[in-house]
Amino acid sequence: MGSPAPARLADLVDELARAHRRTVPAPRGLPYLGLDHASGTPLRLLEDLAARGIFRKYELVLDLAAGLGATSRWLALRLGCEVVAATAADEASAAEALGRRARVGAHVRVVAAAPGALPARDGRFTHVWAVESLARVPDPAAALAEACRALRPGGTIAVQELVPGRAEAPRIAGWRFAAAEERLGSLRRAGFVDVETRDRSDEASERSAQVGAARARLLERLRADPVLAPLAAVREALADALATGALRVVQMVGYRPTTRRA
């Protein structure tokens, strides 16, 4: 039987977001005020990733290791595209429930799938997104190889990663950080080309007072729940590492070649 934590977290995120929305409408694309995004990096950073790919309403995006589906819902609500959110089995039901409550169920399909063994045919997707995902999967190389297989020739991969800002990476439960150069090498070895990298650390603090207040309230509730207290510790550790520069935010965009390499 899976952990009850994802379902309880999803219910709490929904409860707090609804309470805040009674006072101020949620920002577009953030039905849960970003509370469903573990690190707290502002989802407005995704605007730049989207600008570096071509999006139309008929695009089909694979959201790799999607967690509770925050990025998937942002893609559907902001860009109007169809999304398949591949997430861990114990998170799939919670992600689906949040999508249904946000009324994006018709545009976001949640599948329980290991990132190294995706249930998708070759070339199925026009885009693959991996937002702070690679540090949370057991085998990033296998995940990227599967992403390349599932992406159509000429399709875009968009990655946002938390990378060490110092010689020694912070130790945070459930996360395995690697240098930006290592992630870049992994993308190239998986078959992606023309990969561009951009450091977004200077823009990675939350500016919205509404979102900040909701996140503080969520942490209070997480700490008070014995099942969810470990999640509070992880979120606080991530926030501290980002604030002190122990972690940095890097975005990478590349493409699957249109022809096979020799």
- Position 260 scores a pLDDT of 61
The stretches of 22-122 forming alpha helices (DSSP H) are 46-51, 70-74, 89-101
**Pairing label, strands 193-199, 247-255:** antiparallel
- Position 187 scores a pLDDT of 97
Q: Which residues of 19-54 are buried (b: 16+ CB within 10 A; e: fewer)?
A: ebeeeeebeebbbbbbbbbbbbbbbbebeebbeebe
- Position 2 scores a pLDDT of 58
Token output for 69 = 């589906």
Token output for 260 = 């096979």
Each residue of 194-230: pLDDT tens digit? 999 999 999 888 777 888 888 999 999 999 999 999 9
Is-above-0.95 flag for pTM?
no
- Position 4 scores a pLDDT of 86
- Position 112 scores a pLDDT of 95
> How far is Cα 164 from Cα 203, in angstroms, rounded to an integer?
16
- Position 115 scores a pLDDT of 87
- The DSSP letter of residue 202 is G
- Position 211 scores a pLDDT of 84
The per-residue DSSP string of 50-72 comes to: HHTS---TT-EEEETT-TTSHHH
Q: Percentages helix, strand, coil for the chain, rounded to the nearest 5?
A: 40, 20, 40
- Position 57 scores a pLDDT of 56
Token output for 225 = 């729940």
> How far is Cα 138 from Cα 236, in angstroms, rounded to an integer?
22
- Position 1 scores a pLDDT of 47
> How far is Cα 60 from Cα 11, in angstroms, rounded to an integer?
28
**DSSP run (H or E) holding 186:** helix 180-190
Closest CA to 82 of 108, 63, 103: 108
Going along the chain from its start, the domains and CATH numbers come out as 5-253 (3.40.50.150)
Q: Are 99 and 73 in contact (CB under 8 A)?
A: yes
Q: Kindly give the parts of the chain with pLDDT less than 50.
A: 1, 262
- Position 262 scores a pLDDT of 46
